[in-house]
A and B are shown apart, each in its own frame.
Chain A
Amino acid sequence: MNNESVMKISNLKKYFPIKVGFIKSLASKEIPAVRAVDDISFDIRKEEIFGLVGESGCGKTTTGRLTIRLLEPTEGSVFFEGKDLAVVPNDVMRKLRQKLQIVFQDPYESLNPRMSVFDIISEPLHIQNITASEEQTRDRVHKVMEEMGLVPPEEFLYRFPHEISGGQRQRVAIARAFVLGPEFIVADEPVSMLDASIRTQVLKLIKKLVKQFHVSFLYITHDIATSRHMCNRLAVMYLGKIVEMGPTESVIKNPFHHYTDALIAAVPVPDPTARRIEVVIKGEVPSAFNPPPGCRFHTRCPRAQDICKKEEPELIDLEKERYVACHFPLGK
């Protein structure tokens, strides 16, 4: 991995407006909205697996979709190859999609049940008009299936998704993403639906692909233990904000934000002799419709002071590569 960034996201916001009645809309000046992603900035480097972790509803999936413009951002920019994906016209975007791909969470739902494996993997080639002949298409599909460990390809080509196992389905989904030779892939919880014995195979495949094809991944997950094995850097999200970011091992071993600390303490450990660290934070994540003022975590933070309720902490560079948004970072 080098430090050259492939994608640069700055001040990205996505508000989902909520429908209100006509009378109510006259009464309030602002359109009420769920602030799913609220002003986040980060960059993803070449050959990097960048992890985005957080609880459900923190905005990690929305962020993933924004980076490849499956959603239009409300504000902010996503720079890829010198172009701002937030504003590029649709025809340019369509060409760029060859390089920007996604693997979804549930391989039972992300594959069309009425298409064969061959149809699924070759569809992007047809849409982008890449191959000149049927033969070329076939070659390309064969090749990518071999890379994904779907061997021999002949055995899978004409099967339907319900005829193959969960792990193989996810390989088909990854093959579909890789058939166009992408540079940046969003992997949204790619293994959370898979059994433990299969999960590692898919994780190892992703790591192999990064090395072999020099691609970058945005790896979205709620599972920090897995992200530790996968990601070079990690960003922790809470209620639409990045609260902490840095090299994975450093963040996990030495978290600065109280939320990260609690999140790590809460992860169960596959060792009955390990002693459980007490999880100090109480309650559940507040609504993103009306997030708490100041630091969004102050309602649950064990060390919240007055300033936390009033002033929003900025994401600052605390140490080498270690960013945190907290007025009173741990150990500082």
Chain B
Amino acid sequence: MELLKLQNLKMYYGTLRGDVRAVDDISFTMEKKDTVGLAGESGCGKTSAMLAILRLQPPNAKVSGEILFQGKNLLKMSDSEFRKNIRWKKISTIFQGAMNALHPTLRVGDQITEAILAHESRSKQEATEIAGKLFDLVGIGSERLDRYSHELSGGMKQRTMIAMSLACNPELIIADEPTTALDVIIEAQVLKVMKELQEKLGLSMIVISHDLSMIAETCNKAAIMYAGKIVEFGGIVKVFTEPLHPYTQKLIAAFPSILGSMRELASISGFPPDLLSPPPACRFHPRCPYAMNICRKEEPRYIEADQNRYVACHLVSR
């Protein structure tokens, strides 16, 4: 079943120097129980895309296109309806930087019950019970509900964020860099919790990260973003083993692995463009080793290269 469909989604930030085209015409579809990895480097627009879906964008942002969630266009919905029925109730999020995402002077339990009480007609006691169950579920233990965030370790704070995102039984969770600030062993523990929850609760997720290794481990589909565009989308194994877009190829080869024999790490010359004035035509052409004349003149269309495999590159569409 189609859960979320982004169609020609755009989000431009209006500034004095012109529009910053943070998300520029992206489309993809995810089914129920899918975990889509949205990968890309800093400033490629991945977090902006998440903000647009949750309608958390700053006032200077202009969003257009369609966000179809269970068939309904979220962009047509009124603010009050969105707040009441969608945000946190149907689509919740795990914010970046768990270290600073919790309220420092509220007990962590209360921060979870707050979300439940705002969306569901339950008593305080029922809400506390649910929060306790969630804490057990993510492996913190319900006895820690009355702690403050400074009394928890980094891993526990991140688990609290996960518990919070589950508070209202959402259909979709968007996790923005859920493990970036954590040490590897804690990261592995948190990823394990996330994977167990996916299996147990049949969660659908969008995982946003710059870390391809993390995406490879948690997701079944991947969308690779570059300069506000999705350059490649498809099943995780296909994207990683047979990447079609030169950017995807290079990016994957730039990640070192602890397994297997040593291979040369790839680098990409130049640096990511300024989204105020991105390069014309294909945005990757100034850094692409295979750039042809057409790449400088014409923007490649985002086409279905194979079943459920999308790519925007002249090399493929020829």
**Mask: chain B, 125-165; 1 = CB below 8 Å from A; 0 = not:** 00000000000000000000000000001110000000000
Note all chain B residues with C-beta closer than 8 A to A281. Answer: 185
Note all chain A residues with C-beta closer than 8 A to B101. Answer: none
Q: Is A203 an interface residue (CB 8 A)?
A: yes
Known contacts A197-B267, A269-B216, A284-B155; A264/B258 CB under 8 A: yes
- Across the interface, A272 reaches (CB within 8 A) one of B240, B254, B262, B271, namely B240
Alpha-carbon gap, A265 to B187, bound state (A): 11
Stretch touching chain A among B53-61, B207-215, B297-305: B207-215
CB distance from A116 to the nearest CB of B (A): 20
Alpha-carbon gap, A272 to B191, bound state (A): 14
Stretch touching chain B among A121-129, A177-185, A219-227, A322-330: A219-227
Alpha-carbon gap, A279 to B185, bound state (A): 8
CB distance from B147 to the nearest CB of A (A): 15
**Cβ–Cβ contact A273 & B185, under 8 A:** no
User: Max chain A CB contacts within 10 Å: which of B251, B271, B272?
Assistant: B271
Q: Is B184 an interface residue (CB 8 A)?
A: yes
**Cβ–Cβ contact B183 & A222, under 8 A:** yes
**Cβ–Cβ contact B185 & A252, under 8 A:** no
CB distance from B42 to the nearest CB of A (A): 6
Q: Which residue of B lies closest to A200 (CB)?
A: B267
CB distance from A49 to the nearest CB of B (A): 14
Q: Which residue of B lies closest to A205 (CB)?
A: B267
**Mask: chain A, 170-212; 1 = CB below 8 Å from B; 0 = not:** 0000000000000000000000000111111101100000000
**Mask: chain A, 241-262; 1 = CB below 8 Å from B; 0 = not:** 0000000010010000000001
**Cβ–Cβ contact B257 & A269, under 8 A:** yes
Number of A-B contacts (CB under 8 A): 124
**Residues of B within 8 Å of A, CB-based: how many?**
44
**Cβ–Cβ contact A266 & B188, under 8 A:** yes
The residues in B between 232 and 259 inclusive whose CB is less than 8 angstroms from any CB of A are: 236-237, 240-241, 250-252, 254-259
Note all chain B residues with C-beta closer than 8 A to A271. Answer: 216, 240, 257, 259
**Cβ–Cβ contact B258 & A204, under 8 A:** no
- Across the interface, B258 reaches (CB within 8 A) one of A168, A197, A269, A273, namely A269
Alpha-carbon gap, A225 to B258, bound state (A): 5
Note all chain A residues with C-beta closer than 8 A to B184. Answer: 55, 222, 224, 263, 266-268
**Cβ–Cβ contact B237 & A272, under 8 A:** yes
Q: Is A136 an interface residue (CB 8 A)?
A: no
Q: Which residue of A lies closest to B41 (CB)?
A: A195
Note all chain A residues with C-beta closer than 8 A to B153. Answer: 284
Note all chain B residues with C-beta closer than 8 A to A249. Answer: 262
Q: Is B186 an interface residue (CB 8 A)?
A: yes
**Cβ–Cβ contact B42 & A195, under 8 A:** yes
**Residues of A within 8 Å of B, CB-based: how many?**
43
**Cβ–Cβ contact B254 & A196, under 8 A:** yes
**Cβ–Cβ contact B254 & A197, under 8 A:** yes
User: Max chain A CB contacts within 10 Å: which of B41, B256, B272?
Assistant: B256
Q: Is B77 an interface residue (CB 8 A)?
A: no
Note all chain A residues with C-beta closer than 8 A to B237. Answer: 272-273
Q: Which residue of A lies closest to B252 (CB)?
A: A270
Note all chain A residues with C-beta closer than 8 A to B106. Answer: none
Q: Is B196 an interface residue (CB 8 A)?
A: no
Q: Which residue of B lies closest to A267 (CB)?
A: B258
Q: Is B266 an interface residue (CB 8 A)?
A: yes
**Cβ–Cβ contact A270 & B189, under 8 A:** no
**Cβ–Cβ contact B262 & A228, under 8 A:** yes
**Cβ–Cβ contact A229 & B265, under 8 A:** yes
Q: Which residue of B lies closest to A284 (CB)?
A: B153
Note all chain A residues with C-beta closer than 8 A to B254. Answer: 196-197, 199-200
- Across the interface, A225 reaches (CB within 8 A) one of B41, B217, B236, B257, namely B257
**Cβ–Cβ contact A273 & B256, under 8 A:** no
Q: Which residue of A lies closest to B237 (CB)?
A: A272
**Cβ–Cβ contact A268 & B217, under 8 A:** yes
- Across the interface, A203 reaches (CB within 8 A) one of B188, B191, B265, namely B265
**Mask: chain B, 259-283; 1 = CB below 8 Å from A; 0 = not:** 1001001111101100000000000
Q: Is A110 an interface residue (CB 8 A)?
A: no
Q: Which residue of A lies closest to B219 (CB)?
A: A272
**Cβ–Cβ contact B185 & A274, under 8 A:** no
Q: Is A276 an interface residue (CB 8 A)?
A: yes
**Cβ–Cβ contact A270 & B271, under 8 A:** no
Note all chain B residues with C-beta closer than 8 A to A252. Answer: 258
**Mask: chain A, 147-187; 1 = CB below 8 Å from B; 0 = not:** 00000000000000000011110000000000000000000
Note all chain A residues with C-beta closer than 8 A to B188. Answer: 265-266, 268, 279
Alpha-carbon gap, A197 to B213, bound state (A): 14
Note all chain B residues with C-beta closer than 8 A to A272. Answer: 216-217, 219, 236-237, 240-241
Which A positions have Cβ atoms within 8 angstroms of B?
55-56, 165-168, 195-201, 203-204, 222-226, 228-229, 249, 252, 262-274, 276, 279, 281-282, 284-285
Q: Which 4 residue pairs spanning A and B have beta carbons closest together?
A: A200-B267, A268-B213, A266-B188, A197-B268
Q: List 22 A-B contacts (CB under 8 A).
A: A55-B185, A56-B183, A167-B271, A195-B272, A196-B254, A197-B250, A197-B267, A197-B268, A200-B254, A224-B184, A225-B257, A265-B188, A267-B258, A269-B217, A269-B257, A270-B257, A271-B259, A272-B240, A274-B259, A279-B185, A282-B189, A284-B154
